[in-house]
Structure 1
Amino acid sequence: MANKVKFGLSNVHVLFIESYDAKTKKYTYDTEGIQAIPGAVNISLDPQGDTTDFYADNIAYFSQAANTGYQGDLEMALIPDWFRQKALGEKVDKNGVQVEASDAVQKEFVLFFEINGDTAKTRYVLYRNSVARPSIKGQTTENSISPATDSMTITAMPRENDHYTKGSIASDDTQHKAIYDAWYETMHEPDFTST
């Protein structure tokens, strides 16, 4: 049965992209594999791309929207230092100080997450992402403690080889349960060959 509503966010994971070979059209991924980032709070991504309208015969004769991916915010309880090092190119010096440089090389990554529904959970993958530096925030403690969160602006782009941007699978898809179960263990590559 299909979901009537969706709610919740959990299981945020990342897999860093090491390289892309334009000749073979293959991506190479980080040998550390898919890594969890605990503390998912909110994700809000808006579609990117302009719509072009062509008018003829006194009507909108043709309309086409470009799909250049998504952009928005991922809010986490705390962005871990290891993610900042890998995604934003921050480095730790010999004294243990994590340093951000203006010329740091950022690294693209695959983003995985899960949204619940009333009957099934849906797992998502955004195949190629970059992230902007998060803001630095802090607030004084008053009568009660209110945890502050970290937000990052995510840009989800189409892959260079096949132009895929996003994929998803629901927990009630019993025919493909193995794919759902291994979602955070191995990188699923879309397969459109006939069965």
Structure 2
Amino acid sequence: MATQENKVVYGLKNVHYSKMTINETGKVVYAKPVAIKGAVEISLESKAELVSFEADNEVYYSAPGTSSYEGTLTLAKVPDGFLVDILGEVLDATDGVQTEIDGAKTSNFALLFQFEGDANGTRHLFYNCSASRPSVASKTGKEIGTTELAFTASAKPAETVNDKAVVKTKTTANTTTAVYNAWFDAVYVKAPAVG
């Protein structure tokens, strides 16, 4: 792609989720990403803490701790498909009624989205997210409300001994056109180096 690096970023669009499963061989598998329409805002805060060890009356060793994020995705409405695919609600095909089940098994997912920029859009991907159930609220009148979906993002499970604990990735000004254009078609997973 090789465009100029953004000076500023703004806006939010192209929010997608992709259900994550682990197959019988321990390989992480992602479903085809599904668009979430009506995204209003996303906010993520890093939960990485500095690990510090003191010896000889000084900081002898310090390093960043485990990298994870906590955040909220504000939506016009959480899609029914997300509630079924990720939060374990059950849709009865015979009468079309969707039901939340106590103790339902939830699924982890990848979260993909895009921020606009002055030069080009930056596409983001968090590999291993888990969400809590959104609240249910509205009020009389025609004022449109929003729903906050609280979630955490952490490293995807390692598949091999040499696998790195990848938390997130994003496009840059140097991302190839092919990778950039296919970002929302499938979860981007870098092929292992050969040799």
User: What range describes the TM-score normalised by the shorter chain of this pair?
Assistant: 0.7 to 0.9
CA deviations 1:124-172 (Å, max 9, x no partner) are 111111110001110121xxx33111111111121111311101003x3
Q: Output the TM-score relative to the length of structure 1.
A: 0.87
Q: Give the Cα separation in 2 of the matches to 1:4 and 1:191.
A: 30
| Equivalence for 1:176 | 176
Match of 1:19 among 18, 22, 31: 22
Q: In the alignment, residue 156 of structure 1 is paired with which amino acid?
A: A
Q: In the alignment, residue 5 of structure 1 is paired with which amino acid?
A: V
**Structure 2 runs not aligned, ≥5 long:** none
* Structure 1 residue 18 displacement after superposition: 3.0
Q: Give the Cα separation in 1 of the matches to 2:100 and 2:126.
A: 26
Q: In the alignment, residue 156 of structure 2 is paired with which amino acid?
A: R
| Equivalence for 2:35 | 36
* Structure 1 residue 186 displacement after superposition: 2.2
Q: In the alignment, residue 27 of structure 1 is paired with which amino acid?
A: V
| Equivalence for 1:3 | 6
Question: Are the equivalent residues in 2 in contact too, given 1:46–1:71 (CA < 8 A)?
Answer: yes
* Structure 1 residue 49 displacement after superposition: 3.4
SS for the counterpart of 1:88 is coil
Question: Are the equivalent residues in 1 in contact too, given 2:76–2:147 (CA < 8 A)?
Answer: yes
* Structure 1 residue 192 displacement after superposition: 5.6
Q: In the alignment, residue 14 of structure 2 is paired with which amino acid?
A: N
Question: Are the equivalent residues in 2 in contact too, given 1:17–1:108 (CA < 8 A)?
Answer: yes
Alignment of 1:77 with 2:76, yes or no, is: yes
CA RMSD of aligned residues (A): 1.9
Aligned residues: 186
SS for the counterpart of 2:51 is strand
Q: In the alignment, residue 157 of structure 1 is paired with which amino acid?
A: S
Q: 1:193 to 1:19 in 2, by over 3 A?
A: closer
**Structure 1 runs not aligned, ≥5 long:** none
Q: Output the TM-score relative to the length of structure 2.
A: 0.87
Q: In the alignment, residue 10 of structure 1 is paired with which amino acid?
A: K
Greater Cα offset, 184-193 or 147-156: 184-193
Q: Give the Cα separation in 2 of the matches to 1:176 and 1:59.
A: 46
* Structure 1 residue 62 displacement after superposition: 1.6
Identify the structure with bigger relative contact order (alpha carbons < 8 Å, sequence gap 6+): 2
| Equivalence for 2:154 | 157
Question: Are the equivalent residues in 2 in contact too, given 1:47–1:67 (CA < 8 A)?
Answer: no
Alignment of 1:125 with 2:128, yes or no, is: no
Q: Give the Cα separation in 2 of the matches to 1:121 and 1:128.
A: 22
